[in-house]
């Protein structure tokens, strides 16, 4: 009897063990993957817009996130645009109007954010949608504070800065007449102007002239109202003694830090980065004046560059021997940059004073840079590949494949050439590889030859467009194995994304600024 019971118990135990084994082995991989925790839902805490074409989002950090993806659209539209992918250390993002992702005056836009975990390859849920309307950018009325004749051939004007102005236009007319003449346009950072007599806009001795100023906003194309007027009499010619030139208290040198000779309008990858070499301990007293005006810059922080040791001060980065400042030119062109130092009497109110040289000492530090249009430069680069790898008798498909194989694979499907994955480093806390932003390598794809699964399929689409071969990105979801590929109308798949291993940087050394 006992033997029978033991035998039955043994058979029952064996059956349960086999059943458990089958459940584990046959359990769908999706069910096991489901145990991996996805990031939590993001909460957008604040959204604000300025008439200068900027929207700032702030959200609360969530658990399980290695990065955040930001989406936007017109409030009336249905499809979303991915405008940024930021590190998990960031809880704020500023969307600046651009050709690709514009922000127009008076239009309402919607935003949402969601978290992503690169280890589990999972996205969290979308945040609640937040909307904001871009204010109508009409400049306020200017207060023309002073107009004074400096000599028989010049008049100095000064006014108070107003909101929503991206530039100021100065007008004059002979006293008693009605028609204004626009004599100059200056940047929004200026609050003074000196009118010097010329053949076109003369100033005659012992004659009265009336002046006015009004603001202009380039984003909305609107002028503000005319300021109050100021009238001044031009004195008779006299012999004047030249005032001694005041000197800056500190030394300055302006150095372009970009590792490649050409810089572009795309500030995220190849915009101009300046090293202001100085012994001035107060960054707020330093002014960088640009002609033509560059009104915006990129906020630099301690984690902006992995190869830079520095401390954030305002929008600048304090480094050994000076400061780093990244500019954001909107248009291609040649820019003359000059360093000015704020005079002692204005130091207490430095945050309210712009880049007007009237309040500053000249330092003699200057730099001329040529900024190229990023989109046009990319087209020029692709056209060069078309000339190198294709012939006129090729079909669009043959041209496309000739460029892919010749430029990116060296005509061998098994090995790539000079192109590498975007620089990455191993993050112990995340347990995964993360992007490494290197000032020593910052540049366009055709400069540093670095690509990733985000930039490479977009480049293929641009190449296809210029050779007439229709290819489209398969997905923007990085958890999809095909997100680095494009697909032709015939169903062919193509990718030029380098292997992640090619981008690994084992030891990231810090830039030695004492060498500059």
The model's pLDDT over 364-408, given as tens digits with 9 standing for 90+, comes to 899 999 999 999 999 999 999 999 999 999 999 999 999 999 999
Share of the chain above pLDDT 70, in %: 87
| Residue 257 and residue 439 in contact, taking contact as beta carbons nearer than 8 Å | yes
Q: pLDDT tens, 449-504? A: 999 999 999 999 999 999 999 999 998 888 888 999 999 999 999 999 999 999 99
The pTM (predicted TM-score) of the whole model is: 0.56
Domain C-terminal end among 79, 106, 133: 133
Same domain, 435 and 341: no
Q: Is 416 a residue whose pLDDT tops 90?
A: no
What is the predicted pLDDT for the residue at 9?
A: 42
The candidate with the shortest Cα–Cα distance to 67, out of 112, 127, 124, is 124
| Rounded distance between C-alpha atoms, residue 404 and residue 398, angstroms | 10
| Bridge pairing between strands 420-421 and 450-451 | parallel
Mean pLDDT, the chain, as a whole number? 86
Average pLDDT over residues 205-228: 91
CATH number at residue 105: 2.60.40.10
In a domain, 516, yes or no: no
| Rounded distance between C-alpha atoms, residue 7 and residue 15, angstroms | 12
Same domain, 366 and 379: no
What is the predicted pLDDT for the residue at 203?
A: 92
In a domain, 30, yes or no: no
Query: CB-based burial of residue 398 (10 Å sphere; 0-12 exposed, 13-18 middle, 19+ buried)?
Result: middle
Domain C-terminal end among 133, 161, 196: 133
| Rounded distance between C-alpha atoms, residue 400 and residue 394, angstroms | 9
Q: What is the CA radius of gyration of the chain?
A: 30
How does residue 298 score in pLDDT terms, banded at 50, 70 and 90?
confident
| Rounded distance between C-alpha atoms, residue 49 and residue 26, angstroms | 53
| Rounded distance between C-alpha atoms, residue 373 and residue 370, angstroms | 10
Q: Is 446 a residue whose pLDDT tops 70?
A: yes
Same domain, 395 and 325: no
Same domain, 480 and 387: yes
Q: Is 413 a residue whose pLDDT tops 50?
A: no
Domain residue limits at 182 = 144-233
Same domain, 430 and 441: yes
What is the predicted pLDDT for the residue at 236?
A: 80
| Rounded distance between C-alpha atoms, residue 212 and residue 189, angstroms | 18
pLDDT: is 11 or 138 the higher one? 138
How does residue 6 score in pLDDT terms, banded at 50, 70 and 90?
very low
- Which residues does 350 contact at the CB level (< 8 Å), separation at least 6? 284, 285, 342
- Give the three-state DSSP class for 404: helix
What is the predicted pLDDT for the residue at 355?
A: 64
504 DSSP assignment: B
| Rounded distance between C-alpha atoms, residue 348 and residue 257, angstroms | 31
Q: Is 161 a residue whose pLDDT tops 80?
A: yes
Domain count, the chain: 4
In a domain, 25, yes or no: no
Query: CB-based burial of residue 510 (10 Å sphere; 0-12 exposed, 13-18 middle, 19+ buried)?
Result: middle
How does residue 38 score in pLDDT terms, banded at 50, 70 and 90?
confident
Same domain, 69 and 150: no
Domain C-terminal end among 78, 99, 133: 133
What is the predicted pLDDT for the residue at 369?
A: 94
Share of the chain above pLDDT 90, in %: 61
What is the predicted pLDDT for the residue at 294?
A: 78
Query: CB-based burial of residue 156 (10 Å sphere; 0-12 exposed, 13-18 middle, 19+ buried)?
Result: middle
Least confident of 15-19, 61-65, 272-276: 15-19
| Residue 149 and residue 155 in contact, taking contact as beta carbons nearer than 8 Å | yes
| Rounded distance between C-alpha atoms, residue 459 and residue 445, angstroms | 9
Q: In 10 A of CB 264, how many CB atoms?
A: 24
What is the predicted pLDDT for the residue at 411?
A: 56
| Residue 186 and residue 214 in contact, taking contact as beta carbons nearer than 8 Å | no
Q: pLDDT tens, 303-328? A: 899 999 999 998 899 999 999 999 98
In a domain, 6, yes or no: no
Q: In 10 A of CB 10, how many CB atoms?
A: 10
Report the largest interatomic distance among the alpha carbons of the chain, rounded to a whole angstrom. 134
Q: Is 243 a residue whose pLDDT tops 80?
A: no
In a domain, 219, yes or no: yes
| Residue 375 and residue 446 in contact, taking contact as beta carbons nearer than 8 Å | no
| Rounded distance between C-alpha atoms, residue 87 and residue 84, angstroms | 10
293 DSSP assignment: -
In a domain, 16, yes or no: no
**Backbone phi, psi, residue 415, to 5°:** -145, 140
In a domain, 80, yes or no: yes
Query: CB-based burial of residue 121 (10 Å sphere; 0-12 exposed, 13-18 middle, 19+ buried)?
Result: middle
Same domain, 102 and 86: yes
Q: Is 296 a residue whose pLDDT tops 90?
A: no
Same domain, 379 and 489: yes
Q: Is 136 a residue whose pLDDT tops 90?
A: no
> Hunting for tokens 């017109």 — which residue is that?
74
């Amino acid at each position: 009897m006992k033997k029978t019971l033991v035998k039955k118990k043994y058979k029952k135990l064996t059956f349960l063990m086999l059943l458990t084994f089958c459940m584990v082995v046959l359990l769908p991989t999706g069910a096991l993957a489901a145990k991996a925790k996805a990031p939590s839902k993001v909460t957008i805490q604040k959204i604000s817009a300025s008439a200068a074409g900027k929207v700032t989002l702030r959200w609360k950090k969530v658990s399980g996130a290695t990065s955040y993806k930001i989406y936007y659209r017109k409030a009336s539209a249905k499809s979303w645009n991915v405008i940024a992918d930021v590190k998990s250390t960031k809880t704020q993002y500023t969307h600046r109007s651009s050709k690709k992702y514009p922000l127009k005056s008076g239009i309402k836009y919607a935003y949402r954010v969601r978290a992503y975990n690169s280890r589990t390859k999972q996205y969290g849920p979308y945040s609640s949608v937040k909307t904001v309307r871009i204010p109508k950018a009409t400049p306020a009325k200017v207060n023309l504070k002073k107009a004074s004749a400096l000599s028989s051939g010049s008049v100095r004007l000064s006014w108070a800065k107003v909101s929503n102005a991206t530039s100021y236009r100065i007008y004059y007319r002979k006293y008693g007449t009605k028609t204004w003449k626009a004599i100059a346009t200056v940047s929004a950072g200026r609050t003074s102007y000196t009118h010097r007599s010329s053949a076109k806009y003369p100033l005659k001795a012992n004659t009265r002239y009336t002046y006015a100023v009004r603001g202009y906003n380039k984003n909305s194309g609107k002028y503000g109202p005319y300021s109050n007027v100021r009238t001044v009499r031009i004195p008779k010619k006299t012999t004047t003694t030249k005032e001694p030139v005041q000197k800056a208290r500190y030394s300055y040198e302006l150095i372009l830090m970009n590792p490649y000779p050409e810089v572009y309008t795309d500030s995220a990858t190849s915009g101009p980065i300046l090293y202001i070499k100085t012994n001035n301990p107060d960054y707020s007293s330093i002014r960088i004046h640009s002609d033509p005006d560059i009104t915006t810059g990129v906020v630099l922080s301690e984690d902006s560059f992995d190869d830079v040791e520095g401390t954030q001060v305002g929008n600048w980065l304090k480094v050994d021997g000076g400061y780093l400042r990244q500019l954001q030119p909107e248009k291609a062109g040649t820019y003359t940059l000059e360093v000015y130092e704020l005079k002692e009497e204005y130091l207490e109110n430095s945050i309210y004073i712009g880049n007007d040289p009237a309040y500053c000492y000249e330092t003699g530090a200057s730099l001329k840079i040529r900024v190229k249009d990023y989109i046009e430069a990319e087209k020029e680069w692709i056209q060069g590949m078309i000339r190198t790898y294709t012939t006129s008798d090729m079909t669009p498909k043959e041209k496309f494949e000739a460029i892919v194989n010749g430029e990116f694979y060296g005509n061998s499907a098994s090995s790539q050439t000079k192109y590498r994955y975007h620089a990455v480093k191993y993050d112990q806390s995340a347990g995964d590889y993360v992007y490494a932003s290197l000032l020593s390598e910052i540049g366009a794809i055709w400069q540093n030859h670095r690509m990733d699964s985000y930039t490479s399929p977009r480049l293929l689409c641009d190449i296809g467009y210029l050779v007439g071969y229709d290819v489209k990105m398969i997905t923007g979801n990085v958890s999809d194995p095909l997100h680095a590929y494009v697909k032709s109308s015939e169903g062919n798949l193509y990718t030029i994304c380098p292997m992640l291993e090619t981008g690994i940087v084992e030891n990231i050394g810090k830039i030695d600024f004492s060498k500059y």
